[in-house]
Structure 1
Amino acid sequence: MELLTAEIKTCLLENGRKNAELVANGVDTFDFPPVVKLFTPDAGFTWLLSEIDPENSDIAFGLCDLGIGCPEVGYVSLSEIACLRGKSGLPVERDCYFKSDKTLSAYADEAHRLGHIRA
């Protein structure tokens, strides 16, 4: 299974372009809902991604949870995520059933309270 379909990648890039334009104009960025949820089925890692950097399509922005109790918002390398394997050697997967119901910051606030992403 491919991690990002063409449709998902297009949406992530559009969000990245919109926020890059806002930053260039000195305006606060938009708090997009996550577009995709990635996870390791055997390691407890989860990513909710809302944007891809339009200048470097390997860099995504989102909420990252590496299973150690302190999820954080930041930038991640998509190629590094694609190379990750869990304890049993299983690759990262995309949650095909994920539907965002709030903004990235709302997921982040909840994750900080809980110590993990709930999505």
Structure 2
Amino acid sequence: MTFITGQQRTQMLAHGAARARGDAIDPYPVVKLYTLDAPACWLLTELDADGDRAYGLTDAGTGFPELGHVSLSALEGVRGPKGLRIVADPHFKARQPLSAYAADAQRDGSIND
């Protein structure tokens, strides 16, 4: 996947394995993806063993952010209204666990970070 670095992939796979074991985890987001030409955003924490199915906070820009799974390969094909691809924010540094981002986003109607 072109969205995440090797280090991020390793961290996300470890979080995914912990959740698959049934561990109660609330990790900090590892990567932030967003569209350059639309208000969509994804804060991802985990990656399934298949290397494609990621988990995190998704915001399609409709005012209803939610926790859930997304396919990274599917996101690679998504284009915004001006034809721009989804990109990873190279400067993103998570400041709180995913549950706090989710609470803020549900209160505000969007991911604001």
The normalised TM-score by structure 2 is 0.95
Measured in 2, the distance between the counterparts of 1:100 and 1:7 equals 15
Q: Which runs of 5+ in 1 are unaligned?
A: none
1:80 to partner: Cα distance = 0.8
Match of 2:12 in 1: 12
2:100 aligned with 1:106? yes
The residue correspondences of 1:1-119 to structure 2 (distance < 5 A) are 2-21=2-21, 23=22, 29-54=24-49, 56-119=50-113
1:53 to partner: Cα distance = 1.1
Q: Runs ≥4 in structure 1, deviation > 2 angstroms?
A: none
Measured in 1, the distance between the counterparts of 2:20 and 2:107 equals 29
Measured in 1, the distance between the counterparts of 2:92 and 2:30 equals 9
1:65 to partner: Cα distance = 0.1
Aligned-CA RMSD value: 0.9
The normalised TM-score by structure 1 is 0.91
Q: Which runs of 5+ in 2 are unaligned?
A: none
Give the AA of the match of 2:64: C
Q: Greater Rg, structure 1 or structure 2?
A: 1
Measured in 2, the distance between the counterparts of 1:12 and 1:102 equals 16
Measured in 1, the distance between the counterparts of 2:70 and 2:92 equals 20
1:88 to partner: Cα distance = 0.7
Q: Deviations over 1:44-94 (max 9, x none)?
A: 11000000012x221000000000000000010111111110011000000
1:18 to partner: Cα distance = 1.4
